[in-house]
Amino acid sequence: MRIKAAVLHEQGKEHPFAQSQPLTVEDVELAPPGDDEVLIKTGAAGLCHSDLSMIRGVMERKVPMVPGHEAAGVVEEVGKNVTQCKAGDHVVMSFVPICGECEYCTTGRSNICITAFRARATGALINGERRLSLEGRPLHHTNGVSCYAEYMVACEDSVIVIDKDVPMVDAALFGCAVVTGVGAIINTAKIRPGATIGVVGLGGVGLCALLGGIVAGAGRIIAIDVADDKLGLARQLGATDTFNATDPDCVDKVVDATKGGVEYAFEVAGVVAAMQTAYAITRRGGMTVTSGLSQQEHTFKIPHAQLVVDERTIKGSYMGSSVVRQDVPKFIQLYKQGKLPVDKLRSGNIGLEELNKGFDKLAAGEAVRQMLVMHGEFNA
């Protein structure tokens, strides 16, 4: 079938993207789903910093590709072997498919499925297939999703069925921002009720971490960012204290305010400076968790002796250490109970032709989560 999709032919174009136009809207061919695959009508897709990193070339990917990894949609057709969903189901996409057979999937760590990571590197679905093409030439998939398109074909390992009463523009957030941010709090750190936590970086994932802290019963939540408007939003969402990272005394002020630092610090900006801040505000015996993805060559130095003497813990958190088939439905129930108001993170809806301008806004820090909506019935 012929569909409209955004295609990234070349990584590393300079912004403003409204001028350099790294993403071009084209008519591409989408092949029917295979036996273990699903055809999905894209309901909504989020503009995430990971997508921005792919456009910039910070995250190297096979091109040409159809980007986008955070999405929700409606199942249109399923292959003959599909058992996880049926036509008409509403689904959230998982940007890490679940092979169910590797050593990680079989030990409760499907978020780091090695089969999925290998497929991602090749630009294929987890089963090795490609269903997108342009003028007879294959197009690469993004993390098995490629949601900057009117329709998607994905393996059933990439879909999680959800309740139909959740608006698509909210549901899409659960595919990345929510599982990554809330998951870092609940799954990776397993914070204790009453704890003091710090969140460094208040994009979509960082603000979800803040909301996760509230759900988990944190007694005090310190929010840190370079943008005053995001600090204001953090206060509205429930942060007890906010600090601007551009203040040269930011770290000292946090340490003083918390009488020695936070018990759990979460770096969610994907830059080394943010990681340095997160580590510096962590108290003795505390834990620093990083969910941000910086450039591969970037390194972070720590005093070895301090790590030992202070009994510090540093943990990486990918996809919030989530088991998505369990955690996405659980987090959606919290949303429906009013405990995860992710709708407050949305910065408006855009169409395919506005994607480049949308990424300019994201790069400038002028948006938290813009939602790409290509079908009128989902434009809530």
338 phi-psi bin (left φ>0, alpha ψ -120 to 50, beta other): left
pLDDT digits (tens, 9 = 90+) for 21-45: 999 999 999 999 999 999 999 999 9
Tokens of 125: 């679905």
pLDDT, averaged across the chain: 96
- One domain for residues 249 and 140: no
Angle formed by the axes of helices 49-56 and 355-363, nearest 10°: 100
Q: Is 91 contained in some domain?
A: yes
| Ramachandran area for residue 129 (φ above 0: left; ψ -120 to 50: alpha; else beta) | beta
Q: Has residue 328 been placed in a domain? A: no
Query: What are the distances in angstroms from CA 374 to CA 3, 50, 76, 324?
Result: 11, 21, 16, 25
Q: Is residue 380 pLDDT above 80, yes or no?
A: no
Residue 42 domain boundaries: 2-165+341-378
Domain assignment present for residue 27? The answer is yes
pLDDT band at 173 (very low <50, low <70, confident <90, very high): very high
pLDDT per position as a tens digit, 76-115: 999 999 999 999 999 999 999 999 999 999 999 999 999 9
Residues 218 and 156 in one domain: no
Asked if 160 and 199 sit in the same domain, the reply is: no
Say how far apart CA 49 and CA 369 lie, in whole Å. 9
Examine the domain organization and report whether 210 and 305 are in the same domain.
yes
Do residues 199 and 275 both lie within one domain?
yes
Are 44 and 157 within one domain?
yes
Residue 126, domain member (yes or no): yes
Q: What domain count does the chain have? A: 2
pLDDT above 90 as % of the chain: 95
Residues 157 and 212 in one domain: no
CATH of the domain at 120: 3.90.180.10
Is 117 inside any structural domain?
Answer: yes
